[in-house]
Chains A and B, each alone.
Chain A
Amino acid sequence: MANDQDKILDEVTSSEYKYGFVTNIETETIPKGLSEDVVRLISQKKNEPEWMLEFRLKAFEHWQKMEMPQWAHLNIPDIDLQEVIYYAAPKQKPTLNSLDEVDPELLDTFNRLGIPLEEQKMLTGVAVDAVMDSISVKTTFRETLAEQGIIFCSMSEAIREHPDLVKKYLASVVPVTDNYFAALNSAVFSDGSFCYIPKGVKCPMELSTYFRINAANTGQFERTLIVADDDSYVSYLEGCTAPQRDENQLHAAVVEIVAMNNAEVKYSTVQNWYPGDKNGKGGIYNFVTKRGICKGVNSKISWTQVETGSAITWKYPSCILMGDNSYGEFYSVAVTNNHQQADTGSKMIHIGKNSRSRIVSKGISAGVSNNSYRGLVKVVKNAENSRNFSQCDSLLLGDQCGAHTFPYIEVDNPSAIVEHEATTSKIGEDQIFYCNQRGISTEDAVALIINGYAKEVLNKLPMEFAVEAQKLLQISLEGSVG
């Protein structure tokens, strides 16, 4: 039995990352390293207005005084930020009038990733902003959305064309001084998506950003800002992959969400950055700050994430529940295999009265990986009748991996009700055998059990992505139990 388990564990580790290809495209990069000049150069490359440059310089100045956070349950190797290239862009014409002008190599890349950019070929009802390395390649369905007053474009364009909105909301949820990686991002971010849903508009299609790191030795620092005005609704998806490379690459993104009165924002992530090989070589270091503010009354922000990639994940999508009766949700499946490490969870800050939040975190660890849940539930003094429910489950595959739970609870209002439940379980050899005896292969049995375990989270994803995510879980854990 032990042998069998080893054998199958071996199989997992050799299962391939299918997005590991490299696109051969001429890329414009700037010299590696980080300095004030580099920050200025990025801003200049992007033809940014003066105020944006000032924003960056201020962030850079702060960042220089900060230190890399060490509190996570992660073993982070020294990252030499002077070895990173902070701007890399596939060469193409400065402005694109139609898809015909996009480099065919680029189109092909996104096709291979299953993200066709020709609108007629797209999944109906999903608009995509495709970001490769430092720039947005193409945003689809913009005209359709514009008819309803919805702005969906790359961050660079938003800075040029909607400066008032950007000035008003950028860094309003994640201040530039928030943390080391947020400050770094604020200084050097290259692109990302911007989305504004006007009052009373229910966005008719899913909005989606697809991030791809292609160039070697580069970091990706994207910035996403979503603003949902009063009584509006939007569902937003994010996907990401990177080529298989021996060196580690840095990804430090910031996502900010603002939900006004009665607005609802659903943000779903399927994170599949290259996780490194089975010996832990290569892979993306994923340090991401995601935070939403439920600013208005009855507003709602929902985070759903399926995390299967990255060598290191450091990520805590959070909600500031400022409006009365506001609601925050965090649903997560985080898978770690081989040498992957994840320290992920959520923060729910209850400020408004009757604010409610729910955290459902499902960790799955295999190989020699480490998977930690870290979460904070904070109820401030005036947040009458706040409620939180947290459920943190860990599933272990094999006996060399680790699962950890670090819940922090701070309650300053006696009327609050905060509940935390946690379980740890293991896929048993007897469960697998039971399935085998009914004619189900071990692979299928593991998939059945994993999907059953993660069901509550997967159900939260939009349909097409739930299916994708299910497959992804299966691939990430292929045969990890004997």
Chain B
Amino acid sequence: MLSIKNLHASINGKEILKGINLEIRPGEIHAIMGPNGSGKSTLSAVLAGRELFEVTQGEVTFNGKDIFDLSPEERSREGLFLSFQYPVEIPGVSMVNFMKTALNEHRKHQGLESLSASDFLKLMRERKELVEIDSALTNRAVNEGFSGGEKKKNEIFQMAMLEPKLAILDETDSGLDIDALRIVANGVNKLKRPDNSTIVITHYQRLLEYIVPDFVHILFDGRIVKTGGKELALQLEDKGYDWIKNGEE
């Protein structure tokens, strides 16, 4: 599904990712944990194709394609989805219009016809129920005036609409209360299939109680310094990041 080899990336000449290696197969859930500034969000941004960052070395293939040959929108249409840590507001653009444009781009890429208005609305209704998002939200402009929790739910709703092969959840738990966290996690779990994969980027072990990972990677100073099963997250929670930092020294 996704293969990252020796990935280096920098911003304004400062190297943030210093040789990431990661292999993700269909059906797997990987958690990436790490302290602030370790490069977690940079990794997700680089994978999604944000031009802010410069890739200086390494290769990434997604479904066998060199990801750096693809524009951000092509990566999306190929099935890469990023749930943003801070989803932006787009005033004036209705969720319906936004989602319809996005979905039809994906369908076009797959050689499918655009959905009719009624089929689209039906699909939207279905997926809203699946991820338990408030109906009123989808009648508004994209993220405009949404609370932090609503924005995150809206990300998962969009994921449900686009059915990505690989979803990257960037700090999806930040700013969520426990109820919202459960709803978001339930949504992600319901969307899980044997042929899709998920990367959960998080600070805390809390989210991983709901979305149970197959692998946990600890990112520190731009490198994956430790990989283990789900128990690694608990260990980390216990000992704190100092354990890793000290281990490095």
Closest chain B residue to A456, Cβ basis: B92
Least Cβ distance of A160 to chain B in Å?
49
Q: List chain B residues, Cβ under 8 A from A434.
A: 84, 87-88, 90, 142
B98 touches A438 (CB 8 A): yes
Least Cβ distance of B170 to chain A in Å?
11
Contact of A449 among B49, B93, B162 (CB under 8 A): B93
Q: List chain A residues, Cβ under 8 A from B76.
A: 436-439
B128 within 8 A of A: no
Contact of B92 among A1, A430, A455 (CB under 8 A): A455
Count B interface residues, CB 8 Å.
31
Contacts known (A436-B72, A438-B158, A444-B101); A449 close to B82, Cβ less than 8 A: no
B109 within 8 A of A: yes
A4 touches B90 (CB 8 A): no
A433 to B81, CA, bound (A): 12
Q: List chain A residues, Cβ under 8 A from B102.
A: 435, 438-440
Least Cβ distance of A7 to chain B in Å?
11
A431 touches B94 (CB 8 A): no
B123 within 8 A of A: no
Q: List chain A residues, Cβ under 8 A from B97.
A: 448, 452
Contacts known (A436-B49, A441-B73); A448 close to B162, Cβ less than 8 A: no
- Give 1 or 0 for each of A435-472: 1 = CB within 8 Å of chain B CB: 11111111010001101110100000000000000000
A428 within 8 A of B: yes
A433 touches B50 (CB 8 A): yes
A431 touches B90 (CB 8 A): yes
Closest chain A residue to B103, Cβ basis: A439
B52 within 8 A of A: yes
B91 touches A453 (CB 8 A): yes
Which residues of A1-34 have CB atoms within 8 Å of chain B's CB atoms? 1, 4
- Give 1 or 0 for each of B105-131: 1 = CB within 8 Å of chain A CB: 110010000000000000000000000
Contact of A430 among B88, B91, B105, B106 (CB under 8 A): B88
Least Cβ distance of A398 to chain B in Å?
16
A174 to B99, CA, bound (A): 48
Closest chain B residue to A438, Cβ basis: B102
A437 touches B48 (CB 8 A): yes
Q: List chain B residues, Cβ under 8 A from A451.
A: 92-93
Which residues of B200-243 have CB atoms within 8 Å of chain A's CB atoms? none
Least Cβ distance of A479 to chain B in Å?
14
A439 touches B162 (CB 8 A): yes
B49 touches A440 (CB 8 A): no
A444 to B73, CA, bound (A): 11
Contacts known (A439-B76, A439-B105); A452 close to B71, Cβ less than 8 A: no
A440 to B97, CA, bound (A): 12
Contacts known (A438-B98, A440-B102); A433 close to B141, Cβ less than 8 A: no
A434 to B98, CA, bound (A): 11
B153 within 8 A of A: no
Least Cβ distance of A426 to chain B in Å?
12
Contacts known (A448-B93, A448-B98, A449-B93); A438 close to B162, Cβ less than 8 A: yes
Closest chain A residue to B109, Cβ basis: A439
Q: List chain A residues, Cβ under 8 A from B105.
A: 438-441, 444
A448 touches B72 (CB 8 A): no
B18 within 8 A of A: no
B77 within 8 A of A: yes
B51 within 8 A of A: yes
A442 to B105, CA, bound (A): 13
Least Cβ distance of A333 to chain B in Å?
12
A431 touches B73 (CB 8 A): no
Q: List chain A residues, Cβ under 8 A from B101.
A: 440, 444, 448
A71 to B48, CA, bound (A): 50
A252 to B98, CA, bound (A): 41
Q: Which of A438, A449, A452 has the most CB of B within 10 A?
A: A438
Closest chain B residue to A444, Cβ basis: B101
Q: List chain B residues, Cβ under 8 A from A1.
A: 51-52
Closest chain A residue to B81, Cβ basis: A437
Contacts known (A437-B48, A444-B101, A452-B94); A431 close to B72, Cβ less than 8 A: no
Which residues of A413-440 have CB atoms within 8 Å of chain B's CB atoms? 425, 428, 430-431, 433-440
Least Cβ distance of B125 to chain A in Å?
19
A436 to B92, CA, bound (A): 17
A449 touches B92 (CB 8 A): yes
Q: Which of B51, B76, B77 has the most CB of A within 10 A?
A: B51
Closest chain A residue to B83, Cβ basis: A437
- Give 1 or 0 for each of B37-54: 1 = CB within 8 Å of chain A CB: 000000000001111100
Least Cβ distance of B139 to chain A in Å?
14
Q: List chain B residues, Cβ under 8 A from A433.
A: 48, 50, 72
Closest chain A residue to B108, Cβ basis: A439
Closest chain B residue to A433, Cβ basis: B50
A452 to B49, CA, bound (A): 25
Q: List chain A residues, Cβ under 8 A from B162.
A: 438-439
A333 to B66, CA, bound (A): 43
Q: Name 22 A/B residue pairs within 8 A (Cβ), A-sorted.
A: A1-B52, A433-B50, A435-B73, A435-B98, A436-B49, A436-B71, A436-B73, A437-B76, A437-B81, A437-B84, A438-B76, A438-B158, A439-B73, A439-B162, A440-B73, A441-B73, A442-B73, A444-B105, A449-B90, A449-B92, A452-B141, A453-B92
Known A-B contacts: A439-B76, A441-B73, A452-B93. Give 6 more (CB < 8 A). A431-B90, A433-B50, A439-B109, A448-B93, A452-B91, A453-B91
Q: Give the top 10 A-B pairs by smallest Cβ distance, nearest first.
A: A452-B92, A436-B72, A452-B93, A438-B102, A439-B76, A439-B105, A439-B77, A436-B73, A453-B92, A430-B88
